[in-house]
Structure 1
């Protein structure tokens, strides 16, 4: 088994290209999914349908069972079957436990789990895998990659670069997400709400215009942007707490109301 920990999207490009050409009979690529009207949809498929998502996608127990079924057959066009689990940290505990036996006895197969950090995956999974880290690019190398791929405009956005943490793929994905945020809303959020009423209006607009996944990304962006602007640890802590509330399925509008009212108070007091 191989456990790959990387936040670099480019690591998987070759295998993804092979899948786009037609599923390889000895390769199974597993992505986190949403449940919608009896169907499982990846993030890309949900975006194409214009679905407003209330929670991040996860790797589900049913997908782990499909892995077991896939590996019950011998490889057809390769010496071994290969299973790739993208964003392995999104597995719920039940799904992760169901994967344990397969990791222990994979047969003629290699399983690759991709996650952002070692700590984000259950220790029981980590203990059964070989860790292969992918390190961040330095600033110069990142600039070269972004320029060569036609994304040099990202280099002027320090908040996006900070979110990317040396990953060209993450930088590109974050920049694309940034473009999807309504510009007027983003400009209003870049400065502290001028009043409590404005804070409540912004919270209402965020809840109306953005799904939960976009709101979670916005938390990351505001953490970077606000730190560069005000260097207030209390604001960063409030944002981190808001992320936890959103992941716990708290009512998003209420989460943003509390957050923006707090930001307004902290900035006014400083």
Structure 2
């Protein structure tokens, strides 16, 4: 059964049904749009779908997709680094900090897709392209992709994006839409247990922030581990004495970068909400606004903690 190929996907019933029928009926669309939240299985589904398509060819031996299959091109958003477009993973391998700004799928990458699709497949019946983070394309890249979608040749493209609205309507109209959804509490627990992260299930704030996304939950759990234990302990309840507030503010500013400080504010909002301390939410939200406006972080934390100590 083709559906067995998607057994690793949890709760994405509609997506599995659409992809299974496409394979069983041998009616593969020129382009698909996997739309849904981050971390709920879109990338896994793309890999499983590609793997299933490769098995269609008689005599094709199963091989891992990460082995750089000659008929697969996987495109992801990149940063500009030393005049070159480089992915976050490639920068991490080199130990290079991520440049400022958000990664994008760039026009040159779209041109690479067009060149790739102009050749004949080597081992399979079709060429296969995945565009991860398709919503990050600028206008020029999006228009270039639109031309490719109009004439995909002997290829199938899979676009991965959070929503239909995040892409040009003309691009969406040329794709078979495959929806993905956040998981239930039970589904989330199933995935996290598979990943060996059952301990995470006891952290209510992270589960609330994840909103049914195992990928986000895992990312947030890893982020939590980067925060010194003594900082988290002192936030169990906000300090009451002004001296303690000022000392903790200084410690947070010194120990955490801006991105982590913003994340910590989100985490604290969820924690205090669960504790019934709704009165703390407004000062924490104001702190996020000030930090994103580049107000001096230590000052922001001093004011926030003093407000929490004296609501």
TM-score category (smaller protein): 0.7 to 0.9
**2:96 paired residue among 28, 42, 51:** 51
The equivalent residue for 1:98 is 144
Q: Quick check: 1:3–1:131 contact (8 Å CA) kept in 2?
A: yes
The equivalent residue for 1:78 is 124
Q: Quick check: 1:8–1:134 contact (8 Å CA) kept in 2?
A: no
Q: For residues 4-153 of structure 1, what are the structure 2 equivalents within 5 Å?
A: 4-6=34-36, 7-8=38-39, 10-13=41-44, 15=47, 18-20=64-66, 22-53=67-98, 54-153=100-199
Deviation of 1:128 (Å): 3.2
Q: For residues 166-177 of structure 1, what are the structure 2 equivalents within 5 Å?
A: 166-177=212-223
Structure 1 pair 268–143 and aligned structure 2 pair: CA distance change class (3 A): same
Range that drifts further, 60-69 or 87-96: 87-96
Structure 1 pair 119–154 and aligned structure 2 pair: CA distance change class (3 A): farther
Range that drifts further, 220-229 or 33-42: 220-229
Q: Quick check: 2:34–2:161 contact (8 Å CA) kept in 1?
A: yes
> Which ranges of structure 2 fall in alignment gaps of 5 or more residues?
1-30, 49-62
Q: Quick check: 2:239–2:305 contact (8 Å CA) kept in 1?
A: yes
Q: Quick check: 2:33–2:178 contact (8 Å CA) kept in 1?
A: yes
Secondary structure of 2:64's counterpart equals: helix
Question: Is 2:242 aligned against 1:201?
Answer: no
User: In the aligned structure 1, how far is the partner of 2:144 from the partner of 2:231?
Assistant: 43
User: In the aligned structure 2, how far is the partner of 1:220 from the partner of 1:95?
Assistant: 33
Structure 1 pair 69–182 and aligned structure 2 pair: CA distance change class (3 A): farther
Structure 1 pair 82–25 and aligned structure 2 pair: CA distance change class (3 A): same
Deviations 1:105-140, CA, capped at 9 Å, x for gaps: 222222211123334334443333232111222112
User: In the aligned structure 1, how far is the partner of 2:283 from the partner of 2:65?
Assistant: 43
Q: TM-score normalised to the size of structure 1?
A: 0.76
Structure 1 pair 27–259 and aligned structure 2 pair: CA distance change class (3 A): farther
Deviations 1:147-202, CA, capped at 9 Å, x for gaps: 23311011011122122221223322221232233444455566657657457635
User: In the aligned structure 1, how far is the partner of 2:263 from the partner of 2:167?
Assistant: 20
Structure 1 pair 128–151 and aligned structure 2 pair: CA distance change class (3 A): same
Secondary structure of 1:78's counterpart equals: coil
Secondary structure of 1:29's counterpart equals: strand
RMSD between superposed Cα atoms in Å: 3.4
Q: For residues 240-251 of structure 1, what are the structure 2 equivalents within 5 Å?
A: 241=289, 245=292, 251=294
Secondary structure of 2:135's counterpart equals: helix
> Which ranges of structure 1 fall in alignment gaps of 5 or more residues?
none
User: In the aligned structure 2, how far is the partner of 1:131 from the partner of 1:157?
Assistant: 34
Deviations 1:191-248, CA, capped at 9 Å, x for gaps: 6576574576356436xx5375x566556544533543533553465366468x4xxx
Structure 1 pair 46–258 and aligned structure 2 pair: CA distance change class (3 A): farther
Deviations 1:31-70, CA, capped at 9 Å, x for gaps: 1222222343322232333333333322222222211221
